[in-house]
C-alpha cells in the first residue's frame, strides 16, 4: 500500500499542499531549504518566488476543494520548469537544477515502479 506524506507550503498568505511518497518527503523538504538558502545568490531578473515548507504530515483531510494537494511529481516538474526558465547559467543555478532533476528522476522511477506493482 502507498504510504504518502504531505508537505504544507506557504507563500505570503497562500497555503499549498504537496503529496509525496513518504520515502521522498525528506528530500523535498531539504531541497526547499537549499533553494531558499541559494535564492539570494541568483542575479537574474526572473528569480521565482518560492513557498516555504512549514510542516509535514502523514494524513491530510482537505475541507476546501480549492486547496487539493499537488501530485508530487507534477509539483517537481513545475519546479524544474520554473528554475530552468531563470536567465542565469552559473552556480548556484546549475547546482540547484541538478538537485531538482535528481529528485525528479527518483520520483519518476518510484511512480513507474508503483504503477507496475499495482497492475
Q: Is the pLDDT of residue 1 over 60?
A: no
Residue 15's SS3 state is: strand
Length of the chain: 119
**C-alpha distance from residue 48 to each of 8, 52, 91, 93 (Å):** 19, 13, 16, 12
Measured in degrees and rounded to the nearest 5, phi and psi for residue 104 equal: -60, -45
> Does residue 16 surpass a pLDDT of 90?
yes
Mean pLDDT over the full length of the chain: 92
What tens digit of pLDDT does each residue of 49-96 get?
A: 999 999 999 999 999 888 999 999 999 999 999 999 998 877 888 899
Which pLDDT does position 65 carry in this prediction?
86
Amino acid at each position: 500500500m502507498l504510504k504518502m506524506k504531505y508537505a504544507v507550503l506557504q507563500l505570503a498568505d497562500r497555503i499549498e499542499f504537496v503529496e509525496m511518497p513518504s520515502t521522498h518527503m525528506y528530500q523535498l523538504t531539504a531541497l526547499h531549504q537549499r533553494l531558499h538558502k541559494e535564492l539570494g545568490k541568483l542575479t537574474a531578473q526572473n528569480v521565482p518566488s518560492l513557498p516555504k515548507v512549514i510542516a509535514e504530515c502523514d494524513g491530510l483531510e482537505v475541507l476546501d476543494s480549492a486547496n487539493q494537494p499537488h501530485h508530487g511529481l507534477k509539483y517537481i516538474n513545475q519546479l524544474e520548469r520554473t528554475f530552468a526558465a531563470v536567465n542565469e547559467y552559473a552556480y548556484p543555478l546549475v547546482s540547484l537544477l541538478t538537485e531538482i532533476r535528481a529528485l525528479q528522476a527518483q520520483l519518476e522511477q518510484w511512480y513507474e515502479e508503483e504503477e507496475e506493482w499495482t497492475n
